[in-house]
Amino acid sequence: MPRTTDDVLFAARTLHHSAFNLSGIVMNFGRGMPVAHTFLQTLADFGQPIINLSQRGDGFDVETIKGEQFRPMIDTEAGHRTANFLRQLSEFTHPESMLCDWDRRIAIFARGEAAMTYGWSIRSAVFELDETSRAHGKVSFLPHPSAPGLNLVSPIGGFSLAIPTHLDDSRIKTAWKVMEYLTRPELMKWYAQNGNLTSPRFSTSADPEVQAMSKVIGQVDAMERRGELQSWPRPPIPEFHDLIGVLGERIYMMLQGETTISEALAQAQTEADTLMRARGRY
């Protein structure tokens, strides 16, 4: 099983065209948000967040972000290593990878047209719960492989429940009750049984009926206990969507061969820096 980015490249090269209609890997390289997310999540595999977050322990602080911590970290050594890795990996990707978003990518993998993919655990239900899928019962799960010598880091996705600050006081109590209801263990189990193959509650994941559905459930829990699930690859800042917009164009053009790695990263760095300065971040 690949444990490092070097292992991923070796596995993709070895498995590519090793069987009829089989690619080494299928990637989210589609223009815009898909390829941008791929870049910043892979950047974390090379030990760096997309902005200059302060280090904290084995990771980075996302609770206090101010001033220079908003500075983009794209045209960096880690950025170049990330871009080189993605460029090399593109040689062994499914031919539709440059069009792929999350749905298209997982459908290709579920049909057995690619040996590997990166994906959110929630989408594993596409093949884990569908016995007609060629990938059903044949998939092993592991954390994001990291660059040699670095910690394993898998980004946290999912959804957040929140109460808007401008909500009328008379509705806050009702909103809180709805949030409590939606996060009850019974509801978490129901979600898992209906396709959401992860749970933020260890008690739900430990339920024998839930465990029996897919081995990904226990493996994601184990990743959390080992500290391999982190939120810093997707920092909670208002400019996050704008950064995605910049990366979604520049990294896509790079993978298409329209620009060099150096040109793409320099342009993305300049555009992201201009954005942050215009917002008065530093």
Q: Residue 164: inside a domain, yes or no?
A: no
Nearest to 53 by CA among 267, 225, 240: 240
**62-107, pLDDT tens digit by residue?**
999 999 999 999 999 999 999 999 999 999 999 999 999 999 999 9
Q: Residue 219: inside a domain, yes or no?
A: yes
Q: Residue 178: inside a domain, yes or no?
A: yes
Confidence of residue 274 (pLDDT cuts 50, 70, 90): very high
DSSP state of 210: H
Q: Where is the domain boundary, 225, 248, 268?
A: 225
Query: Residue 275 and residue 40: Cα distance in Å, rounded?
Result: 17
Residue 191 has pLDDT above 80, yes or no: yes
The boundaries of the domain holding residue 176 are 169-225
- Name the 3-class secondary structure at 70: helix
Nearest to 234 by CA among 163, 166, 144: 144
Within the chain, strands assigned E span 55-56, 59-60, 154-155, 229-230
Segment 157-168 mean pLDDT:
86
Distance separating the N- and C-terminal Cα atoms of the chain:
43
Residue 262 has pLDDT above 90, yes or no: yes
Residue 158 has pLDDT above 80, yes or no: no
Q: Where is the domain boundary, 225, 251, 267?
A: 225
Query: Residue 164 and residue 228: Cα distance in Å, rounded?
Result: 31
Answer yes or no: do 99 and 11 share one domain. Answer: yes
Inter-residue contact 233 to 155 (CB < 8 Å)? yes
Answer yes or no: do 60 and 115 share one domain. Answer: yes
Q: Which residues of 157-185 are buried (b: 16+ CB within 10 A; e: fewer)?
A: beeeeeeeeeeeeeeeeeeeeeeeeeeee
Confidence of residue 215 (pLDDT cuts 50, 70, 90): confident
Query: Residue 133 and residue 282: Cα distance in Å, rounded?
Result: 51
Confidence of residue 203 (pLDDT cuts 50, 70, 90): confident
Domain CATH code at residue 73: 3.40.190.10
Answer yes or no: do 220 and 97 share one domain. Answer: no
Q: Which of 32-41, 158-167, 253-262 has the lowest mean pLDDT?
A: 158-167
